[in-house]
Amino acid sequence: MKFLVVLFLALQCAIGVHAKEATPLADDPVVEQRLITIAEELRCLVCQNESLAGSRADLANDLRREVRTLIRAGKSDAEIREFLVSRYGDFVLYRPPVKPTTWLLWFGPLLLLIGALWLLISVIKHNQRQKDTPVLDADKRAKAQALLKETDSSK
Amino acid sequence: MKKGLIPLGIFVVLLIFLAIGLTRDPHEIPSPLIGKPAPTFTAPVLGKPGETLSNKDMLGQVWLLNTWASWCVACRQEHPLLVEFVKTNPLPIVGLDYKDKEADGLQWLARYGNPYTHTIVDADAKIGIDFGVYGVPESFLIDKAGIIRYKQIGPFTPESLRDKLVPLIKELSS
């Protein structure tokens, strides 16, 4: 009985194992090279942290096929990007265009940097001013010395 | 005392932003096609060899394009809702069988019911790509002039049908 179960499971494995064929590269290495350059700047919509060039998602495969077709049809890189943006929005671009809705995205880090620099400079200036001003004025210094002498003489 | 409040203020602002971020689904990418004419297509009709349906055939009526596939799990959850929906709402729904085998698609409709007035085949995802589909099910409500008015990303729920689709259909049909 045990043997039969093991045999059955082993057969199941044998049926299940069939390697998926590698997707064929385009015949033309020039097309493929351009595809990779374009697709690396594009986001895969299914696995959003992957580029269209690197993703193995089904949709990425289909989109690469479309891009290949467009390359063969002699479209420029800008036209190919426009093809995808008009369907999927700016989200597919890893470098979104500069326009009012993306100003914060583009210039926000610069604003933060300027803010941080301003803070740094004001802190440094503040510290400098404290260093320059003597901690004790003449009156207080005299009083302190008098006190020190007192303690010395009492020893 | 006042200086101590500045980090607290920054923290609160950060907290508000993060809280807003949590309520948003990063998988819902707004479609640039809303308010624009639906992409043109001419596609073979499922199960009727030789017949085709074009987007022009649907002009003059408010209709829904619902993408589905027999391999799509979320579609199975959405499907009974649509089957029920068309019983009470006279809305033409065009089913787009996305990246599917025709036999599987037909079997699926036979088993789970057919809410579609037409079902078209998109075996190589070309129509899907034109509509900016990145994961089935997705649905598009298209008005009489052929303009896309609404996109549902992911399956419809009873709430989204009632609160979004029904009022929009009423508005566009009048």
DSSP state of B150: E
Same domain, A85 and A132: no
Better-predicted residue by pLDDT, A136 or A6: A136
pLDDT at A30 over 70: yes
Q: Which residues of chain B are under the pLDDT cut of 70?
A: 1
- Is A8 within a domain? no
Put simply, whether A49 touches B (Cβ < 8 Å) is no
- pLDDT of A22 over the 80 cut: no
Is residue B93 within 8 Å of B173, Cβ to Cβ?
no
A109 and A127 together in one domain = yes
Distance from CA of A88 to the nearest CA of B (A): 5
Kindly state whether residues A26 and A86 are assigned to the same domain. yes
Interface contact flag, A87 B26, Cβ < 8 Å? no
What's the pLDDT at A153?
78
Residues A67 and A133 in one domain: no
Domains of chain B: 31-173 (3.40.30.10)
* Domain total of chain A: 2
In a shared domain, residues A87 and A33: yes
> Which positions 54-73 of A are in contact with B (Cβ < 8 Å)?
58-59, 62-63, 66
* Interface residue of B134, B138, B140, B148 to substitute, partner A, most A CBs within 10 Å: B134
pLDDT at A25 over 90: no
Q: Are residues A35 and A73 in the same domain?
A: yes
As to burial, measured by CB atoms within 10 angstroms (0-12 exposed, 13-18 middle, 19+ buried), residue B140 is buried
* Residue A125: domain span: 101-153
Q: How far is CA A138 from CA A143, A145, B6, in A?
A: 9, 11, 37
* C-alpha count within 13 angstroms, C-beta hemisphere, residue A57: 17
Nearest CA among B50, B132, B68 for reference residue A84: B132
Residues in chain B: 174
A55 and A68 inside one domain: yes
The answer to whether residue A119 is domain-embedded is yes
Query: In this predicted model, which residue has the larger pLDDT, B156 or A138?
Result: B156
Cut 0.80: pTM above it: no
- Choose the closest CB to A87 out of B30, B129, B135: B129
B chain contacts of residue A46, beta-carbon cutoff 8 Å: 134-135
